[in-house]
Every structure is written in C-alpha cells, then in structure tokens.
Structure 1
C-alpha cells in the first residue's frame, strides 16, 4: 500500500476506537519551536516539569531513528459538570481544573495510542512506532499545530475548530512516510481576552507564557506559595481554566464523548476541610485515578488551606488550628498560619500566639508573625 492508502486506513480505524481528531505531519525538526524554547530558557520562563534537552524536544529523529512522520491525536473532554455540588458556608469546596476531571487522561490517551500503534504495525510489520503524551520529549501542541489539529492560541493552548481547546493531545512518531496534513492558520486575530484575563499576568504576550507565574503551575509546586499569588489562587486545588473559559472559540464547547472522562463531582469539587487531615492511603484511593494527584497530597492540602483562608471560613478554624499545631510539615503549618491571619478573630489570634511559643521553624515563625500583624491591624482599625 502507498502512504496515502495507509493513511486512509489509519484515519478510519482511529474513528472506530474513539479518537476525535487525527492529523499527520512530517518528522522534520521543529525549527521555530527550538528558537522559542531557547528564548523561554533565557528568560527563565520554563516550569522545570518539561524535558530540559531542547534538541530532544525539537528533533524527532533523536527519539526514533529514520522517523518520517508524526501522527497527532486529540480527544475532546467535557467543559461542564453535570450535577455539580454547591459550595456552602458550612462546607466550602475547592475545584480541580477540567483537564483533571475523570480518569487520568495520560492513561486514556495511551490506551487509544496503543491500539492505533498495534493497528499500524499490523498494516506494516516493518514499521517502527514510538508514542508519547504530555510527559514525552516532544511538544504535544507543536506537533498538533503542524499536523492540522488546531492552531496555537494566545493562551498557549491548541485550539481546534471542532472542540475549542478542550482537548487532550498525544502523538506517535513513525518510520512510515504518511502524506502530511495542512496546518490551520491562526484564528485569534486581535482578540486578547485570555492575556487580559490571566489572574497573575503569566501570559506575557500572546503565545508566550511565564510558567513560574502561571496558576496551573503554581498549584503543583510543593513549597510555600509566594504570598502575592495566594489570593489569586481563589479556591483552585489543581490547575487553572481562566484562559480557556474566556476564549470565544470555547463558547458552547462541551463534549461528553468518553465515559472515562466524566467527572465524579465529589472529586472534581471536593469539600475543603476534610482534605486538611486526609491520610495518604485515603488520598491515593480517592484521588489516585485523576491526573491532578500526580504530585501527591501536599500541594492539594496546601491549596485547600489557602482556599479556606480566601473564603475567610470561620467554620474551618478547628481544622486549621489542628494543622498549625500538629502537622509535621512546615509548609502546611505555615500556610495554616496565613489562613488564620486571613480569617482573623480572637480564636485565630490565640492559636497563633500559642503556636509562636512552640514553633522552631523560621519560615513558619515568619508566617505566624505576619498573620499576627494582620490580626492586630484589624483590631486597631
């Protein structure tokens, strides 16, 4: 069979296994991406989660010798939750971003790509195929853009005409010379809504992201969250959807094609207070299947404490005081001190004063002292 005939069969098969969109491109180097990545490195805009070797990120033949093509796939995920639970004054809730709803998308995509890879090898047993998603060396978005899946939006997301930017991406590098598809031209035009709406100004300009300011990145860090970002975190536990939610291309986009991507409302919008004392085993059993758990419970707990502080939730005082006095982790104790300072009141003040007498960690003491000043300033005013 010719490359064109093989492509036709692969496209038809992809639809039969629930792949929402598929595109093909060459395995040529990603020259423009290489320059952008070098600029990102020079500016210090990288998160540290990505592959550090720029050559591997932009030279497919380094990942598969004699590579000729790359197949990009996209699966659409829901943007709206059915029967979403309400946050109440007695039980405030946090939120996981949409990309963490349902079962971990890495697993879902790998299952589809494994089937596609097996089918390709049945068609051409001599072919070589390497698949990857998110944690692989290649840039999923750069591949998708060149393969005609969508264009790269100013929010740094791949925007598809059919599904907006609510898509998961993966790719397969292969030695088969498939005919490439045409890229889609940029459709953002003069629209700047995502850049204007970014809570922390992480979208420096359209298409350039300072990862260190991005809330989606900050929710995944394990240390103290810089104070200037705590209020901006709101009640987010993992990820941030703001730049997608304001995008006009996403208006009305909500797809429920895959049962495994449907969110469990109690996991996607969990109650905050129980998260503060959740045990490791319970956390793994409950949240382990979702992608937002990949960094463990510590970032989620820290973010839950910040959310309770932002809500000024007085009903959470017992849990926050317990964490401040009993948790062995300085980041969690210090963040609880900050939340108590936000909530204020005599109970919070007394707890902070008592903790100050016992606390040995300098960072936690700094948080306690700052919170005590907040409480005292309120009393004066």
Structure 2
C-alpha cells in the first residue's frame, strides 16, 4: 500500500468514527509561531495554562523523534440549545460557554485520535505516533491552519468554512511522511466585529489576545476577580462566546453531529442560587463530565455570586449572608460581601458592619469595605 492510498483510507475511516474534518500538515518547525509566542511572553499576555517550554510548542521533533506529519482533526459542536430554560426574575440562571456543553471534549477527541492511531498501526506497524488535545504542547490552531482545516481568525479561533469556529481540535503526530494538504490563509478581511465586541478589550488586535483580560480565562481563575471585570462577567459561569457569536462566519452555523456533545439545559444554564450551597460530591456528580468543571466548584461559585450581583437578585441575600459569615474560603466570603453591597440596603449594611468586626482575613476585609462603599454611594 502506498502512502497516498493509506492517506485516502485514513480519511475515509475518519468519517466512519465521527471526525468532521481531517487535514495533513508537515511536521516542520513552526518558525512564525515561535516569534508570536515569544512576543506574547514578553508582553505578559499568556494565561499560564499553556505549555511553558516554547521549544516544545514549535518543534514537533522534540515531541516525537522522526516526526514527519501532523494530522489535524476537527469535530463540530452545537451553537444552539433546544429547550433552553428561561432566565427569569424568579429563577436567575448562569451560562456555560458552548465549548463546555455536553461531554468533556478532551475525552471525545482522545477517543477519535486513539482510533486513528490504532488504524495507522495496523496498516503501518513501523509508524510511531503521539496524539494530543488542547492541553498538549503543540498549538492546535497553528496545526489546523497548516493542515487546511481552517484559518486563524482575528478572534484567535480557528474558523472553518463548513462549521465556522464551533469546532474542537486535536492532532496526531506521526513518523509517516504523508503528502501535506494546502494551508488555509486568513479570510477575515477588514472585519473587526470580534475586536469591537470583546467585553474587556482582551483582543488587542486581530489575532492577538491578552489572555489575562479574556473573560474565558478569568472565569477559570481561583482568586478574587479584579474589580474592573466583575460587571463585564454578566451571568457567565465558565468561558465566553461573545467573539464567536458576533463573527459573520458563524451566522447560521449549528451542527448536532455528535450526541455526546448535546447539552443538558439544566447543566449548561443552571440556576444560580442552588450553586452556592452545592457540595463537592453533588458538583462532581452534576458537572464532573463537562470540561467547565476542571477547575473545581470554587471558581463557578464565585462567578455565580457575581452573576447574582449583576442581576441584583434580592432572593440571594440570605444565602450570601450565610456564606459571608460561615464559608471557610476567603474568596467566597469576600465576593459574597461585595455582592451584598451591590444588592443590599440598610439592613445588609448592618450585617457588613457586624462581620467586619470579626473577620480576620485582610482580603475579605477589603471586600467588605468595597460593599460598604457601594452602599454609601447608593444612599
């Protein structure tokens, strides 16, 4: 069997296992990417979640000796939810971003990549392979662009002609020298809708993101959310879809090709108040299967408190008061104090004054003062 025949067979097989798009790229160094990553590092724009060794991110040979080809795959995920629950005054709800709907995409893509590896090894036993999804060393977007899957948009997402940017990406590095596909060039043109719509100005310019300002990153942090971003958060619990929602390339794009990606409406848009008292076990049982749970319940609860402040939900005050007085976690106590200041009135001012006399944590005390200052401003 020739490599050309094996490539055709692999492409055909990929469709039978639920791969929506597949492309082949050379495993040559990503020289241009290296320069961009160094610039990001110098500017302090990295999130800290990336692979810290830039050499591993741009030299596939460092990950697999003799690497010749990188196979990129894309799976389309839904952009719309059927039976989406209403966010009402009586029942305020938060929202997980679309990339966290359904089963954790890392598991889904690893399953597809494993099947592709087995398929290759059965037909070319001498081949060496290594695969990765998202948390691997390589840049999924750089690989997908080189493999002709899509182009790197100004919103820093991979945009495919077929599915827009609503795709999960993964890659398989192999020693087999397949014929590479044609890379896809950038097609955003003069459009700047994503840059203009970014809630925090995290999109510095087309294709450049300051991760530390990005709401998708901020929702995953575990410390106090900086003051300037709290109003920007809205009711987001995990992630942010704004730059995808405004993209013209995503208009009308909504694919339901994979049952395991379908969201449970009560998980994707959960009621906010019950989240505040959920136990670790309950959180794992309800949310453990989605990618948005990977940082644990504390960031989600902190974001839920901020969302309740965004809605000025009076119904939340008793629980917020309880969290302020009893929760062992300073971030939750402090965020609750701030939210009480946003929502509450004179009665809650007495509560903040009372707790201020017993609270020992300096950061929580600062949040209590913020809450009191907000109340004074309202008066």
Distance (Å, rounded) in 1 between the aligned partners of 2:377 and 2:83: 42
TM alignment of 1:25-174, pairs within 5 A = 25-174=25-174
CA RMSD of aligned residues (A): 0.6
- Measure how far apart 1:71 and its partner are: 0.2
Question: Which range moved further: 71-80 or 345-354?
Answer: 345-354
Pair 1:315-2:315 in alignment:
yes
Secondary structure (helix, strand or coil) at the match of 2:172 reads: strand
User: CA shift at 1:346, angstroms?
Assistant: 2.3
Q: CA offsets per residue over residues 59-104 of structure 1, 9 Å max, x none?
A: 0000000011000000000000000001111210000000000000
Any idea what SS the aligned residue of 1:131 has?
Answer: strand
* Count of matched residue positions in the alignment of Structure 1 and Structure 2: 379
Deviation digits for residues 194-226 of structure 1 (CA, Å, limit 9, x no counterpart): 000000000000000000000000000000000
Map Cα deviations across residues 134-175 of structure 1 (whole Å, 9 max, x no partner): 010000010000000000000000000000000000000000
Q: Is the 8 A contact 2:64 2:130 kept in 1?
A: yes
Q: Give the 4+ runs in structure 1 shifted more than 2 A.
A: none
In 2, Cα distance between equivalents of 1:122 and 1:216: 40
Stretch deviating more after TM superposition (168-177 or 368-377): 368-377
Could you say what secondary structure the match of 1:186 adopts?
Answer: coil
- Tell me how far 1:353 sits from its aligned partner: 1.5
C-alpha deviation, 1:348, in angstroms: 2.1
Under a length normalisation based on structure 2, what TM-score does the superposition of the two structures give? 0.99
1:377: which partner in 2?
377
Match for residue 13 of structure 2? Answer: 13
Q: Which runs of 5+ in 1 are unaligned?
A: none
- Where 2:228 maps in the other structure, the secondary structure is helix
Paired with 1:290 and 1:114, the residues of 2 have a C-alpha distance of: 20
Q: TM-score, normalised by structure 1?
A: 0.99
Q: Summarize the alignment of residues 211-360 of structure 1 with structure 2, pairs less than 5 Å apart.
A: 211-360=211-360
Structure 2 regions of 5+ residues with no counterpart?
Answer: none
Moved more, 343-352 or 326-335: 343-352
Shift of 1:347: 3.0
Q: Deviations over 1:26-78 (max 9, x none)?
A: 00000000000000000000000000000000000000000110000000000
